[in-house]
Amino acid sequence: MDLSEVLKSPTIALKVGSLDSEDVATYHVHESVLIKSSHYFKQVLNSKFSETVKREIALSSPVDTPQACELFFDFAYKGKCEPKTSNPLLSYGEAYLFGEKIQAIGFKEYIYTQARAEADQKFRDLDFLFNSIKPTDAFSKPRAELLDTWGLLIEMIYEDTYDNKEEILSAATPSDAGTPFKDHLDNVKSWLETSKLDSFRGLLSQISAQYPLVIASNPRIVKLIRSIPGFAADILNYQLKSAVEEIEQKHVFELPHLYAVTRKKSP
């Protein structure tokens, strides 16, 4: 984005925070930056809404936090952003939800990429610690803190994001007991390839599926698996994909008669 053109653009005040709170943060942002970075702001600023006339937009929903907004502004102006906090994963989750609300596709993709890199590293380290130390050791505190953050992210993301998957659980079993295994697997593979999953949901479910022992050590996350059907289904979704890939790599279809499902004859 050409800085000289940006500076020519008028600014608009964004008031961030609950309407019932006195602690409302005000940011003055160039219109051209908002229009280019967010479909939501583009619609508002190109309309005749009262916000445009007043030169002021109020952001007061639960996902509209100053921290998330500041990450978005950094990204909108600089093309990158970094949380100024000791818990970047949680900040990425909050920023992702804000990006979802304002329909900032580039921002969401960037946040997801950063969150995945952070989560992959954290859980690799955590898995090593889990297999190397006792829960009473000093290193158990960061483990507990990470899993607590993971639980918060699961609740946040699954409450405020959506996907179009239905009947995930039924896809795991053949509809007909006589269906040959290969045909059933082809059906599952086709369904998996066409189903859509929110990126951050995919991150949470995949990491959880990859580190089952670590996840199972946290009662809160175990409870979330039981109480949020979508989360449990997404974990199964990842496991199905992994199973399909593993089966194909082993070339089991070279001997299809070994994998056929047969009916028992009636007496």
Q: What confidence tens digit (pLDDT) does each residue in 34-44 have?
A: 999 999 999 88
| Residue count (the chain) | 267
Tokens of 7: 């500076």
Tokens of 16: 């961030």
Q: Which of 90-94, 140-144, 172-176, 231-235 has the lowest mean pLDDT?
A: 172-176
- Where is pLDDT greater, at 192 or 115? 115
pLDDT band, residue 128 (cuts 50/70/90): confident
Which residues sit opposite 13 in a β-bridge?
28, 56
Mean pLDDT confidence for 63-85: 95
The Cα 91–Cα 84 span in angstroms is 9
**229, 177 contact by CB (below 8 A):** no
212 alpha carbon, distance to own chain's centre: 18
Provide φ and ψ at 57, rounded to 5°. Answer: -125, 130
The Cα 180–Cα 178 span in angstroms is 6
Q: What confidence tens digit (pLDDT) does each residue in 7-30 have?
A: 788 999 999 988 777 789 999 999
Mean pLDDT confidence for 46-69: 85
Mean pLDDT confidence for 231-246: 80
Q: What is the pTM of this model?
A: 0.78
- Where is pLDDT greater, at 1 or 200? 200
The Cα 34–Cα 29 span in angstroms is 7
Task: Please report, rounded to a whole number, the percentage of residues in the chain having pLDDT higher than 90.
Answer: 47
Q: DSSP character for 188?
A: H
- Where is pLDDT greater, at 50 or 33? 33
The Cα 116–Cα 181 span in angstroms is 34
pLDDT of residue 196: 65
The Cα 154–Cα 206 span in angstroms is 12
Q: Decide if pLDDT at 211 tops 50.
A: yes
pLDDT of residue 175: 41
**Beta-strand pair 56-59/11-16:** parallel
190 alpha carbon, distance to own chain's centre: 23
Mean pLDDT of the chain: 80
**237, 165 contact by CB (below 8 A):** yes
